[in-house]
Amino acid sequence: MSCIHSNKKKQKTANGLSTLEILDRFEDEHEILLKLAFVVTGDIGAAERSISEARDLVINGEHPVPLCEQFTEWLKTMTIKAAITNSLHEIARCESKYVNQNCTHSEHLLNGNDSKLTELRNFLLDIDPEIVIAELDPLARAVAILRTTARASILDCILRLKLSLTLCLLPIAER
């Protein structure tokens, strides 16, 4: 059994990383992945499960692996997607809060200024996740993480969170 296990670890993915290298990268990035998943889910256990699910998806080849230079950011994106999937029910419960509200900020339709997104992402990663969880509802947290860390467009948010355009814009505009 150990021979089969060690052969699998030596197997290379399409971008040249072995399974062992992928596991090492998840381990190296665990703290930041946990923080991102925790902000989205609001629950440390769900955050750990999200990382585990993202790791399984990557190792099992269910998503194409990008080039080595992009791999760390891609791990974050996969973890965020898993966390959102684990939180869709909580996110959906927040929709009614934003019905019939308007946002007049046209810049929210755009992907945003790269430096502003980087600044907000750094802020979200530097602040205590407990504060973010206490101050923002699950929908607002998911949109904030998707827009800043995964560089998601409004359309990406709509598709990933299964929301309308109006509901996706409002949590950011309200804060």
> What tens digit of pLDDT does each residue of 2-14 get?
333 334 444 555 4
User: Is residue 47 within 8 Å of 132, Cβ to Cβ?
Assistant: no
Q: What is the pLDDT of residues 123-171, one digit of tens each?
A: 888 889 999 999 999 998 998 898 888 777 777 877 888 876 655 555 5
Cα–Cα distance measured from residue 56 to residue 62, given in angstroms and rounded to the nearest whole number:
9
> Which residue, chain included where needed, has tokens 């946002």?
103
Closest listed residue to residue 68, CA positions, set 10, 31, 16:
16
Which band of pLDDT confidence, cut at 50, 70 and 90, is reported for residue 41? very high
Mean predicted confidence (pLDDT) in 21-45: 94
Cα–Cα distance measured from residue 114 to residue 122, given in angstroms and rounded to the nearest whole number:
12
**Whole-number average pLDDT of the chain:** 79
pTM of the predicted structure, to 2 decimals? 0.78
Q: How many Cβ atoms from other residues are within 10 Å of residue 159's Cβ?
A: 12
